Amino acid sequence: MNNFTNSISTGFNSFMGFLPTLLGAIALVVLAWIIAIAVRKGSQKGLKAVGFNRLLTKWGLTNTNEQAASTIDSISNVLYYLVWLIFIPGILSMLGLNAIASPITNMFDSVLSFIPNLFAAAVILAFGIFIGRFVKNLVYNLLITLNIDKWIAKMTSSEEVTDSATPSVSQKMTIAKVLANVVYIIILVPIITVALETLNIESISEPIIMVLNQVLAAIPNVIVAVILIGVGIVLAKFVGDLISGLLLGTGINKLNKYLKTPGSMMPSVDLAKVIGQIIQVVLVVFFVVEALNVLNLEVLNTIGTAVIAYLPLVLSALIILGIGLIGGTLLGNFITQTTGSRMSGNVIKYILIVMAVFMGLDQLKFATSIVNYAFLLILGGLSVAFALSFGIGGRDFAKRQLEKVETKVEKEQKE
């Protein structure tokens, strides 16, 4: 009986000793609940009072006022649970549950120590965005004032740019927008690098900073490459137009009459313009390859070298094809005029053109063996077809011709 009484007394004394701690924990829970409710209600009313819902819609984060109100409610709920998270370590510590409270306390210590870095990074990033937008708008307005799009259109277009032919403002300022955005990115990249370094999260910031540094180091080469391409386009247009004008003055377009079959309705080709455009393309290719070399990218350098090495083959193939086209047309017209047979002229013309096509493909090293075999098969097929048609259908004609030759030979012998 005494043991039972002692157990009850000991338990009661323990409970009475723990009761202040329990009441303190309950009081802390009630206080946390009151503060969390107050923070949630206050944040909801405060954000709506300052018009935060309209700002969310204006910034494009929400589409309707209902979505904005739902977003504000979500923010308030986050603050509500954040208050509870702040009080939970104290409540657990008061109950003697330090093993559970310690990780939460350490987490909050890490978060609170990280907040200054996060705030500093946000300030740096906001300042960089402000400066970048300011410079972007300055460059954009300056380029609009200089009317850079009209000048570029004049330099890259063969037709005169008139006010009536100018596009709308949204389309006209494309070059200005592109250049302004490039300046904005150039300013923003180092700002982002500094902001990431401020966070002091090496596992996240170091790879990103490395990539941004590589981008920043490549920007000068990219600018030089773009300038080279721009200069190449302008220079190619100038040289192409100059050569087209010189060729036009020499009367090269008169060769069109040799490229057309008599009675054909085929439109004339502006040979001077075609040659000028070919020269433009070749010059632009040279400048593009040089721009790729400036970028110091091995893959692009290899591609550029291969293009330059292949370019003479393309030009020689075009020359062969042009000679075949001109020669075939001239010879076809000559045979048509001398024999009066348009079919014979067309046959000779297209035979020469086909031969020129196969020679051009062979010059391009385009499946050389297949092209050669195909040409030989076509030529052999035509020869066999001609031999069979002459042997079967022209047997009587050949007999008469041979008799005429034999009669003529015998007559000459008698004389």
User: Given a cut of 60, is residue 180 above it in pLDDT?
Assistant: yes
> pLDDT at position 34, please?
92
Residue 277 lies in a domain: no
Amino acid at 96: G
Kindly tell me the burial class for residue 59, based on how many C-beta atoms sit within 10 Å of its own C-beta (0-12, 13-18, 19 or more).
exposed
Concatenating the DSSP letter of every residue in 113-173 gives HHHHHHHHHHHHHHHHHHHHHHHHHHHHHHHHHHTHHHHHHHHH-SSPP-GGG---HHHHT
> pLDDT at position 155, please?
64
Length of the chain: 415
Residues 181-203: what's their mean pLDDT?
83
Task: List pLDDT tens digits, range 363-379.
Answer: 777 666 666 666 676 66
Residue 328 lies in a domain: no
Residue 202 lies in a domain: no
Q: Which two tokens stand for residue 365?
A: 């090293």
Residues 192-217: what's their mean pLDDT?
79
Residue 69 lies in a domain: yes
Residues 98-107: what's their mean pLDDT?
75
Cα–Cα distance between 136 and 142 in angstroms, integer?
Answer: 10
Say which range, 31-35, 70-74, 165-169, has the weakest mean pLDDT.
165-169
Residues 243-255: what's their mean pLDDT?
80
Comparing CA positions, the residue from 276, 277, 307 lying closest to residue 290 is 307
68, 54 Cβ separation under 8 angstroms: yes
> pLDDT at position 85, please?
80
Task: Give the range of the structural domain holding residue 78, as residue numbers without chain letter.
Answer: 1-96
Residue 35 lies in a domain: yes
Task: List pLDDT tens digits, range 287-324.
Answer: 888 888 888 877 777 888 888 888 888 888 888 888 88
Residue 227 lies in a domain: no
161, 153 Cβ separation under 8 angstroms: yes
Residue 175 lies in a domain: no
Percent of the chain's residues with pLDDT above 70: 74
Residue 149 lies in a domain: no
Cα–Cα distance between 198 and 363 in angstroms, integer?
Answer: 61
Give the residue with greater pLDDT, 9 vs 202.
202
> pLDDT at position 169, please?
44
Distances in Å between the alpha carbon of 150 and those of 108, 141, 182, 194, 226?
59, 15, 20, 38, 19
User: Given a cut of 90, is residue 38 above it in pLDDT?
Assistant: yes
**In total, how many domains does the chain have?**
1
